[in-house]
Amino acid sequence: MKIVVQRVSSSQVKVNNKIVGQIEKGLNLLVCIEHDDTMQTLKKAADKIVALRIFSDESGRMNKSVVDIEGSILAVSQFTLSWNGKKGNRPSFDGSAKPEVAQNLFNEFVKLLNEKVPVETGIFGESMAVVINNDGPVTFHIEF
């Protein structure tokens, strides 16, 4: 599982020019489900994401989580993250889980996140336009 985590002041995802998910302050997640991901992987990732202390405290230090600031999460499926870019110039997405498996695991991941913080999503498998107002910018790439 690979996730790009971005601290945002706002974020939205559109399908066919219609907003299908939108948040204000919180996290934008680009989520890639890979072949060997399990429920244990999802749980580890969800626990880590909601606990990341990447929001500023009263002193301006990154010391608060999305839970602490009562923020939200916009999670967007992103199978293209499976390519590591080390070989060749034509991306291969062989590391990504098959769509039907990935969709079920993505939905389970969203449920786990939603136990701690409100979560919006795009529409799995659709062509999406994602607007990310990165705050900082603060961006992390995490693999589980």
Residue type, 57: D
CATH topology of domain 2-143: D-tyrosyl-trna(Tyr) Deacylase; Chain: A; (3.50.80)
**Predicted pLDDT at 64:** 98
How many Å separate Cα 28 from the centre of its chain? Answer: 6
Average pLDDT per run of 10 along the chain, which is 144 residues long? 98 98 98 98 98 97 98 97 93 94 98 98 96 98 97
**What pLDDT shows up at residue 6?**
98
Beta bridge mates, 88: none
| Residue 103 pLDDT | 98
CB of 29 closer than 8 Å to CB of 120? no
pTM of the entire structure?
Answer: 0.96
Q: Show which residues are catalytic.
A: 78-80
Domain extent listing, the chain: 2-143
